[in-house]
Structure 1
Amino acid sequence: MNSRQHAATGAARRQAMAEHVMRQGSSSVTELAETFSVSVMTVHRDLDELERQGMVRKFRGGATAQASSVFESNIVYRLTAHQEEKEAIARYVAGLVEPGNSIMLDDSTTALAVARHLGDVTPLTVVTNFLEAIKLLTGVPGIRLIALGGEYHPTHDSFLGVACVDAVEAMNTDLVIVSTSAVSDRYAFHQEQEIVLVKRAMLQSGTRRILAIDHSKLGRVALHRVAPLDVFDTIVVDSLAPGEAIDRLRERHLNVEIAEI
Structure 2
Amino acid sequence: MTEDGDSAELSRPARRQAEIAAYVVQHGSVSANDLVEAFGVSVMTVHRDLDELERQGVVRKYRGGVSAQPTSVFESNVAYRLTTAQAEKSAIARHARAMIEPGMSVMLDDSTSALALVELLEDITPLTVATNFLPAITRLTALRDVTLLALGGIYSATHDSFGGMPCAEAVEALHTDLLFCSVSAISATHAFHQEQEIVLVKQAMLRSAGTKVLLVDHGKLQRTALHRLAPLTDFDVVVVDEKTPEDLVRGLRDHGVTVEVAPL
State the TM-score bracket (shorter-chain normalisation): 0.7 to 0.9
Alpha-carbon separation, structure 1, partners of 2:252 and 2:136:
30
Alpha-carbon separation, structure 2, partners of 1:207 and 1:33:
53
Q: Following superposition of structure 1 onto structure 2, how do residues 144-159 of structure 1 map, counting pairs within 5 Å?
A: 144-159=147-162
Q: Is 2:20 the counterpart of 1:21? A: yes
C-alpha distance 17-121 of structure 1, shift in aligned 2 (>3 A) = closer
Segments of structure 2 that go 5 or more residues without pairing to the other structure are 1-12, 38-46
Q: Following superposition of structure 1 onto structure 2, how do residues 117-136 of structure 1 map, counting pairs within 5 Å?
A: 117-136=120-139
Alpha-carbon separation, structure 2, partners of 1:195 and 1:99:
29
Q: Is the 8 A contact 2:152 2:163 kept in 1?
A: yes
Q: Following superposition of structure 1 onto structure 2, how do residues 1-261 of structure 1 map, counting pairs within 5 Å?
A: 18-22=17-21, 24=23, 26-28=25-27, 29-30=29-30, 33-36=33-36, 52-54=54-56, 56-57=58-59, 63=67, 67-68=71-72, 72-261=75-264
Alpha-carbon separation, structure 2, partners of 1:19 and 1:48:
11
Q: Is the 8 A contact 1:105 1:176 kept in 2?
A: yes
The aligned counterpart of 1:11 is none
Segments of structure 1 that go 5 or more residues without pairing to the other structure are 1-13, 38-45
Report the 3-state secondary structure (helix = DSSP H, G, I; strand = E; otherwise coil) of the residue aligned with 1:27. helix
C-alpha distance 20-63 of structure 1, shift in aligned 2 (>3 A) = farther
Q: Aligned residues, how many?
A: 239
Q: Is the 8 A contact 2:216 2:241 kept in 1?
A: yes
Alpha-carbon separation, structure 2, partners of 1:97 and 1:176:
10
Alpha-carbon separation, structure 2, partners of 1:117 and 1:103:
13
C-alpha distance 75-181 of structure 1, shift in aligned 2 (>3 A) = same
How far apart are 1:22 and its partner, in Å? 3.8
Q: Which runs of 4+ in 1 moved over 2 A?
A: 14-27, 29-37, 46-52, 54-58, 61-68, 70-73
C-alpha distance 208-25 of structure 1, shift in aligned 2 (>3 A) = farther
C-alpha distance 150-255 of structure 1, shift in aligned 2 (>3 A) = same
How far apart are 1:73 and its partner, in Å? 2.5
Letter in 2 for 1:117: L
Letter in 2 for 1:218: L
Letter in 2 for 1:36: V
